[in-house]
Amino acid sequence: MRLKDRIAIVTGGGSGIGEAVAVRFAEEGARVAVLDVDVKGAELTATLCGGLAVVADVSDSAQVDAAVARVERELGPVDILVNNAGIAGRRNSERLAEKLAAQAAERGTGRIVTGLDALVRLPDDEWRQMFAVHVDGTFYCSRAVARSMKDRGTGAIVNVASICGVEGCTGHPHYSAAKGAVLAFSRALAKELVVQGIRVNAITPGFIETPATSVLTDAQRAGLELTTPIGRLGRPEEIAATVAFLASDDASFSVGSTFAVNGGLLTA
Ligand code: NAI
């Protein structure tokens, strides 16, 4: 019950990691607002965690401001924000599938001749959408909750980035760039806001079993299991446990950190 009576907003709470975070927070005593652009997902998770479903698109600042105002009205001032809403870039992944299979066949031959052409085939709208959801969304939500957090001198923000934001993931330049921006943003915020009682930290999950990764082919999944030292993908509950720690007073000296939760895939 480390989060007893805390008011939390979990963006992207309608699925996968966000759902697990919302449930874990409720188990630890928090009252949770499940913010998601997907009505059904938000309502389902809200039922699971006894929370409030709030439908909003994090990439729209007016919707975010209205959503946060509603949470403050109905639940109270926000103590915890988890910026988790995200997209994987499905159209890009679909375009890559054939080229990745060709590269896989060439591995071990001493020469990979197939280029992925991810960059040159990436349209403007997919680039912008990736930044709108991850970077704009994290900015809008953080700004909206920080206004009252700073006046009350307390708060915790946890940003869900990715190993791709540290390492750079082949074939996903827009996702990698957006997650890298989230990490840099987190560090700057952390240094600014800690004097006002707000702690900001980020996590970098590896590959986690969620609807977002359910599109992986068996061969891709086997490849990830092989390259992840622990030998498997992670579970959303394992991410939720780390987020709960960072959101709680147990992490009172963690400021601007990047927590790796990736089964050993990236240890530096
Ligand atoms: P998911 O697809 O299961 O859930 C994402 C949720 O975000 C969905 O409910 C979706 O409706 C919501 N969402 C998307 N765009 C939104 C918007 N504009 N406004 C509000 N809500 C929006 O994905 P998953 O796997 O649970 O991912 C959660 C976060 O973790 C994402 O930020 C993702 O990039 C990150 N992540 C996931 C990894 C994985 O292997 N699953 C690995 C590393 C990071």
Tell me the per-residue pLDDT of 224-237, one tens digit each, with 9 for 90 and over.
Answer: 999 999 999 999 99
Please say if the pLDDT value at position 205 is more than 90. yes
Residue 72 per-residue DSSP state:
H
Task: Kindly give the distance from the C-alpha atom of residue 86 to the centroid of ligand 1, in angstroms, as a whole number.
Answer: 4
The token pair that represents 51 in the structure block: 């929370």
Q: Is 133 helix (H, G, I), strand (E, B) or coil?
A: helix
Whether 138 lines ligand 1, by a CB cut-off of 6 Å, is no
Q: Which of 139, 175, 185, 207 is catalytic?
A: 175
Whether 122 lines ligand 1, by a CB cut-off of 6 Å, is no
Whether 57 lines ligand 1, by a CB cut-off of 6 Å, is yes
Whether 89 lines ligand 1, by a CB cut-off of 6 Å, is no
Atom of ligand 1 nearest to the CA of 134: 32
Task: Kindly give the distance from the C-alpha atom of residue 169 to the centroid of ligand 1, in angstroms, as a whole number.
Answer: 17
DSSP string, 191-249: HHHGGGTEEEEEEEE--B-SGGGTT--HHHHHHHHHHSTTSS-B-HHHHHHHHHHHHSG
pLDDT above 70 as % of the chain: 100
The mean pLDDT value of the chain amounts to 97
Task: Let me know: does 158 contact 202? Beta carbons within 8 Å.
Answer: yes
Digit-coded pLDDT (tens) for 29-50: 999 999 999 999 999 999 999 9
Task: Kindly give the distance from the C-alpha atom of residue 112 to the centroid of ligand 1, in angstroms, as a whole number.
Answer: 32
pTM of the model: 0.98
Best CA proximity match to 133, nearest among 33, 213, 36: 36
β-sheet with 198-205: strand ranges across: 52-55, 31-36, 7-11, 80-83, 155-160, 198-205, 258-261
Atom of ligand 1 nearest to the CA of 85: 7
Task: Kindly give the distance from the C-alpha atom of residue 160 to the centroid of ligand 1, in angstroms, as a whole number.
Answer: 9
Q: Which of 83-97, 154-168, 208-222 has the lowest mean pLDDT?
A: 208-222
Please say if the pLDDT value at position 96 is more than 90. yes
pLDDT at 194: 98
User: Has 175 been annotated as catalytic?
Assistant: yes
pLDDT at 220: 86
Whether 208 lines ligand 1, by a CB cut-off of 6 Å, is yes
The token pair that represents 45 in the structure block: 């998770």
Please say if the pLDDT value at position 268 is more than 90. no
